[in-house]
Chains A and B, each alone.
Chain A
Amino acid sequence: MSNNLEILTSDELDALASIDPASGMPHQLDDRARATLAEILDAEPAHADVVPLAPRTRRRTLQRAALAGAAAVALAIAVPFVLKDENTTAHAAWSPVGTVVTGLAAAQQLASCEALVHSWATPDHPRPVTAAVARGIEAGRTSTVTETRGTRHLTSIVTGDTGATCLTSPDGSATTVDFHGRYPAPAADSVSATVSRTILIRDRDGQVSDEALRRARQVAPTLFRAVLGTDVQGVEISGPSLEPTRATIVGGIAIAWWPGATTSATTLTLDLADGSRRELPITGALVDDADAFYGHEDRSDRSDGGLVTIRE
């Protein structure tokens, strides 16, 4: 520290130390730090050129699936999901059945989601949908839905013809958000829906290790949002690698998320008002366009925002 005293006095150093936000943190290895060490040692050692000292942010859109009911056409912008290990824990606690969240807890999640929306509605990201959602929030939301499923919250904001859906961590930080335009009104016994899934991978010079990509594919969550026809009272999503998952429904909006990807064999089962059930396969093409946006240095480059047109 003596070199620092050339410029800052010991009183100054002591005073600044007193407002250090990390001053109370432990110096010894705790259980979490030991677990992190074990996880890193278990990782595949990679070549030096794969994980850089000063990595740039790049993006790989793993999969955006178009989902169609009888008359489902919608637009969605999927903002990159930030890969982090907390997701592994979150996925372990994931539940196929969500619970509606209300009151203060819902308000907190809503605030996180709105903050994320505003962070994207900037001149750096001049997309009509993000701007429209932000304006809609300012003007007053028309409706919101929040569910909890394991340790994650999923919040859907509707602002007139546009909206956003955010997946948030227990601390309220948002990990990913979908922006969407107007969902066309579905038939009474059908839905209009989007399924989206994107990730963010750090790399350098176009190099992404297979291990990093494999890990990203494992943990990136899929977000589901649907506008329900008037006769639809329940929605279940199922597939070969997906445990039957009940969507949370409030006010004609169904939301859900699940760990991992969706496959082309994924099916929606709708519970109808007359007691019958109707199955709707995902008919939109599942696109693994991992290379489609590969090479963009900054996410603002993705000016199309991953617009998805959903086909019947």
Chain B
Amino acid sequence: MTTIENGKDAARAARFTRLYEQHHGDVLRFARRRVEAEAAHDVMHDTFLVAWRRLDDVPEHTRPWILTVAHHTIGNRLRAERRLAQAYLTAATAPRPPGETPEDHAFAVDLSRAWDQLARSDREVLALVAWDGLTPTEAASVLGTSPGTFRVRLLRARARLRDRLGHDISSRSLPEGAAR
């Protein structure tokens, strides 16, 4: 057990607490998109434990760094528990927004189906941008690749999603409540 009893430790704890409050939601959502709910909480714990122990290494622009740690933590879990890979970056199955039209519902179903048919590597690059909200440069750092390579992968993944869907996403209107 660590007793926070001097000024340096207190300052360290305070800094970590701010970091946790600011990014715990990002990490939890990042994890939940890739593993089941219970495992996502474990990933969050392990990720922030790394941050706590490497606090001096945490950069000022924290989000890509902490999501990179989460990415590695999830990778370890997937290697240890292969079953978790089944839930990796699958589309939401939650109830659709109230008031959704049959057309909107059909589109969401088609999009989910097209998404789930993509290769995991395609879902990964799309999710980092569309779900995790990272820029291509930030997402590239999470995957340990160059921004240029990531952009190419993202373009190809987008094209494959369009092929699976049978048309451009942009060619139809979106349901109420679907906007970010």
Contact = CB atoms under 8 A, between A and B. Distances in A.
Interface of A: 1, 3-4, 6-9, 11-29, 32-33, 36-37, 39-48, 50-57, 80, 82, 84-86, 112, 115-116, 119-120, 169-171, 173-174, 200, 202, 298-299
Interface in B32-60: 32-33, 36-39, 41-42, 44-46, 48-50, 52-54, 56-57
Interface of B: 1-2, 4, 12-13, 16-17, 20-21, 24-25, 28-30, 32-33, 36-39, 41-42, 44-46, 48-50, 52-54, 56-57, 68-69, 72-73, 76-77, 79-84, 90-94, 107-108, 111-112, 115, 126, 129-131, 133, 135-137, 151, 154-155, 158, 169-170, 174-175, 178-180
B33 A57 contact: no
Contact of A9 (B24, B112, B170): B170
Contacts of A119: 82-83
Contacts of A13: 129-130, 180
Given A7-B129, A12-B130, A48-B54, A41 B44 contact: no
Contacts of B80: 57, 80, 82, 200, 299
Contact of A8 (B12, B37, B115, B130): B130
Given A25-B29, A40-B16, A202-B76, 16 more contacts: A7-B151, A12-B130, A21-B32, A21-B93, A26-B25, A32-B41, A33-B24, A53-B54, A53-B68, A56-B76, A57-B79, A80-B80, A86-B41, A170-B38, A173-B38, A174-B83
Nearest to B79: A57
A16 B89 CA distance: 12
Nearest to A171: B38
B52 A43 contact: yes
Contacts of B158: 7-8, 12
A41 B1 CA distance: 9
Contacts of A115: 83
Given A36-B48, A116-B83, A17 B179 contact: yes
Contacts, number: 195
Nearest to B177: A18
A21 B170 contact: no
B152 to A, nearest CB: 10
B38 A169 contact: yes
Contacts of B130: 4, 8, 12-13, 16-17, 20
Contacts of A169: 38
Contact of A84 (B25, B42, B111): B42
Contacts of A9: 169-170
B20 A37 contact: yes
A86 B16 CA distance: 23
